[in-house]
Amino acid sequence: MSLGCGIRRAVAPIRRHQQGYVLVLVLSALAMLALIGGRFALRIDTLREQAGTLSAYARGRLEAGNGAAAALYWISTRPTGAAGFGPFLKPSLWADGRPYLLDQGAEVRLQDLRGLYPLNLGQREPFAALLRLSGAEPDAIDTYIDVMLDYVDTDNLKRLNGAERAAYVPLGLPPPRNDWMLSVRELSRMPQWREHPDLVASLEPMVSTNRVGLFNPNTAPTRVLQALLPTARPAQIERFETLRRAEPFMSAQSAVTTTGLPFDSDEHLFHVGDQYRLTVWAPGMPRSLQYNVVLLPGGAVSPWLIAEVHSVPRLKPSKAQERGTVFPLALTPAPP
């Protein structure tokens, strides 16, 4: 009797000890399941957020594409004028880079390339002024210009501060084109330029790869006007901008008479050209899409040619009151 009781008393602690291990294992398993469940829920939330972001981006691209199509239709079916499309002095769509808004929130900007500085012409003094206004270091301006001129000229002779093929090879860059620049983005492929992306980004909206020196002051950004008119007083530039944004000037004579600015060169042509920069953005897109467009009224395939497409940072309004006007083709939803 006493032996049996002793055995039972010995077994009881062992069982309690085993039950303690089981409790620890169960609690560990529950903690592991809770951790896995939490991670799984977090992963589901992340995937849901990514799906929402992708969906918003897809809607944004759709609306941006609609905006580009509307702008291309408008500029190919309306007469050109002094600063845009539609009536000569009252454009329904201005080509001076101002923002237009479509129904679904897309933003469209159209820029006449005649209003920008043409890189391919290689005019040293106005380009140097534009570089200074864009934030280039004064001591480096000659280098920027010489490198670019060596890139487009047809010989292999290096300018004092320039760069020919031998300078591109160690940097792993393609050799200079030795021909017209086809894209403003080629600046980023050049020595010196590639080391200063902020300067390139600041300069890109001000320049084009036009090969003709005709300049339309009606559609020029302020910085370009300041660079091309170095003797102009700030008050004259401001007056010209205020007047032209309300109604473009139709001739150099009227602009000179009103503002006193020296628009007396044969290169000043107060009329838009046939090449444009079209920038579109819609909610959900982290960056804008930019198209370089050439109008071809007699084209066999289409009335326009898209020469280049790439993404750019979204342009912010330059002034507090510049929030965008309604795009001419924006349709008002029908009432239910």
pLDDT band at 32 (very low <50, low <70, confident <90, very high): confident
In order of their start, the domains of the chain are 118-206 (1.10.40.60)
Query: pLDDT averaged over the chain?
Result: 87
Residue located via tokens 């940097």 = 171
Give residue 207's pLDDT.
97
Predicted structure pTM score: 0.82
For position 34, what pLDDT does the model report? Answer: 76
Give the long-range contacts of residues 317-323, CB within 8 A, separation 24 or more: 317/99, 322/98, 322/99, 323/99
**For residue 52, what pLDDT is reported?**
61
Q: What is the CA radius of gyration of the chain?
A: 32
| 294 pLDDT higher than 60 | yes
Average pLDDT over residues 247-268: 92
Give, in order, the Cα–Cα distances in Å from 10 to each of 2, 17, 18, 21, 22: 12, 12, 13, 18, 19
pLDDT at 136 over 70: yes
Q: 7-11, 26-30, 133-137, 261-265 — which one is most confidently predicted on average?
A: 133-137
Strand order in the sheet with 288-295: 304-312, 288-295, 275-281, 107-112, 96-101, 325-326
Contacts of 329 (CB under 8 A, 6+ apart): 70, 73, 74, 102
Q: Over the stretch 172-230, which tens digit does the pLDDT of each residue have?
A: 999 999 999 999 999 999 999 999 999 999 999 999 999 988 999 999 999 999 999 99
115-119, 162-166, 309-313, 323-327: segment of lowest average pLDDT? 323-327
d(CA 209, CA 171) in angstroms, rounded, equals 25
Q: Which residues on adjacent β-strands are paired with residue 102?
A: none
Q: Which of 161, 157, 169, 171 is nearest to 140 (CA)?
A: 161
Query: Percent of the chain having pLDDT more than 70?
Result: 85
DSSP annotation of 332: P
Identify the band that residue 336 occupies on the pLDDT scale cut at 50, 70 and 90: very low
DSSP 103: T
| Residue 30 pLDDT | 75
3-state secondary structure of 231: coil
Position with higher pLDDT, 250 vs 20? 250
Q: Using an 8 Å Cβ cutoff, are 299 and 305 in contact? A: yes
Residue, of 315 and 69, whose pLDDT is higher: 69
List Cβ neighbours of 160 (8 Å cut-off, separation of 6 or more): 142, 146
Asked if residue 6 has pLDDT above 70, the reply is no
Angle in degrees, CA 229, 235, 237, rounded to 5? 40
Q: What is the DSSP string of 145-209?
A: HHHHHHHHSSS-PPPTT---HHHHGGGTPPPP-SS----GGGGGGSTTTTT-HHHHHHHGGGEE-
Asked if 72 and 304 touch (Cβ cutoff 8 Å), the reply is yes
Confidence check: pLDDT of 15 > 60? no
